Amino acid sequence: MNKKPILIVKPEFIPKMIALKVLMAGVLGAFFLAGALEMLFFIIFAILGFGTDFGTIFTFVFIVCAIGFPAILYELKRKNYNNIYFKFFDNYVEFSYFTEPMMNKRQGRLQYADIEDMMQYTNFMQNFVSLETIRIYAPNSRLYDSYKNFIGIELSDVKQSKHIGQKIQKILDRWEEANIVHEEQNLIIKKPEHHIENTKSDKVTIEKK
């Protein structure tokens, strides 16, 4: 029988914010992609004997990439958001999300025992749409994010009005309290009993010479 999670967290997909993000990333990506494709087309056209105009080729490729690249990124983001979740249980959290900037998928389970701290923050764009990011630090785990240089998991674009950070903190506090009680009970059970042994006095006979 599958356990029912205490809390399920999913990100808020705000089309305008995502569109602005992918537009900035798309234009930058289009610049580098256009440069690479331009060199490829330049070589192909030169081999085929066509006239080559360096500036015209770059402009054409850049416009195509600047339009097409953001559109592809937006669609990928939209699909990825539907597959992101964080399910909090009694002792652990199951997660599935994508890291920036290459949208690599991270999926697994993090035990509460490995969690050391939690932080909430809001970046410039999130502030306009009342979103926030919750970062859960777990230095004892192997969940290293090389791009953001921290160990743990990150819940991005969650609604501030839902008070997700406070709910997560309550779950962690409840787990810690239950764990302390459990440890105290184990200490009581394992505590050795002191047995009082009745000792009999030995009679010592002293022979007089």
Given this model, what pLDDT does residue 57 score? 67
For the chain, how far is it from start to end, CA to CA, in angstroms?
86
Indicate the average pLDDT of the chain: 82
Confidence of residue 193 (pLDDT cuts 50, 70, 90): low
Closest CA to 5 of 93, 134, 118, 97: 93
Residues 79 and 83: their CA atoms lie apart, in Å, by 7
**What is the three-state SS of 64-113?**
HHHHHHHHHHHHHHHHHHHCCEEEECCCEEEEEEEECCCCEEEEEEEEHH
Q: What's the burial of 12, exposed, middle or buried (CB within 10 Å: 0-12/13-18/19+)?
A: middle
In this predicted model, which residue has the larger pLDDT, 28 or 13?
13
Answer yes or no: is pLDDT of 207 > 70: no
Question: Does 196 have pLDDT greater than 50?
Answer: no
Of all residues in the chain, what percent carry a pLDDT higher than 70? 82
Burial class for 138, CB neighbours closer than 10 Å (0-12, 13-18, 19+): buried
Rounded Cα distance between 78 and 82, Å, is 7
Q: What is the pTM of this model?
A: 0.74
Task: Please write the tens of the pLDDT for every residue from 90-119.
Answer: 999 999 999 876 688 999 999 999 999 999
Which residues are registered as beta bridge partners of 99?
104
Whether 12 and 157 have beta carbons less than 8 Å apart is answered as: yes
Q: Of 43-52, 67-76, 82-91, 167-176, which gets the smallest average pLDDT? A: 43-52
* In the block, residue with structure tokens 């389970």: 109
Q: Which range among 37-41, 53-57, 68-72, 174-178 shows the weakest confidence by mean pLDDT?
A: 53-57
Q: Measured between alpha carbons, how far is residue 92 from residues 111, 135, 194, 208 in Å?
A: 4, 15, 39, 78
User: What is the per-residue pLDDT for 62?
Assistant: 76
What pLDDT band is residue 36 in, cutting at 50, 70 and 90?
confident
103-117, 118-132, 192-206: segment of lowest average pLDDT: 192-206
